[in-house]
Amino acid sequence: MKKNKISKNWINRQRKDIYVRKSKIEGYRSRAVYKLEEINQKFKIFHSGASVLDLGAAPGSWSQYILKNYKNIKLASIDLKKFDEIKNAYQIEGDFTDDIYKKKILNFFKEKIDIVLSDMAVNTTGNKNLDSIQTSELCLDAMRFSKEVLKKDGVFVSKIFIGSTFNEIIEESKKIFRKNKVFKPPASRKESKESFIISSMLR
């Protein structure tokens, strides 16, 4: 009974959500695209000719946004889940923390990257503190990988949850990058603890 109620509430919320409706009209695969759009409007991350790595890319709306709005983009999208093909994206199904897939990423770009994005989050367990900790670990993994692959003036953008590991992420980012900002896009639901860290200029 409880499960059915939760499912019904989720469906009702989706119907009322202006970002869900907008994504369907504009042909994007999820409402998450507008979080990236708002981050980009504020921090001016993207430019034509950029090389971009999209971690945790499924279902692909972030990759869609970049390729739709900027020219001559070299983009690799990776996720554990298989997702529908995106024209002009190099798609990888696998775990980016695994050396096999890191090698695939490096072989594709063949040089340092301009932008690394991560919208990764673990599947929710119902335990918000545990979910926050596990998602934070993904952020730290992505951040450390970015240190290896980004250009000196490259940009790293990642989902984070405000919780017990927030300070650890901020401290780690300060060790790796000279500039760090935390931003909660308007498209991120008010009740969510989700924010994004935008970091640039490797030390």
Percent composition of the chain: helix, strand, coil (DSSP 3-state, to 5) = 45, 25, 30
Q: How far apart are CA 109 and CA 21, in angstroms?
A: 35
Q: How far apart are CA 39 and CA 57, in angstroms?
A: 16
Tokens for 131, please give them.
């979910």
Q: Which helix (H) or strand (E) holds 16?
A: helix 2-16
Closest C-alpha among 140, 141, 76 to residue 113: 76
Is 159 annotated in the active site? yes
Q: How far is CA 165 from the centre of its chain?
A: 18
Contacts 24+ apart (CB under 8 A), 94-100: 96/55, 96/141, 96/142, 96/145, 97/141, 97/145
Q: How far apart are CA 184 and CA 100, in angstroms?
A: 33
Indicate which residue of 16, 44, 159, 179 is catalytic. Answer: 159
Dihedrals phi, psi of 8, to nearest 5 degrees: -65, -40
In the 8-state DSSP scheme, what is residue 87? T
Residues carrying an active site annotation: 159
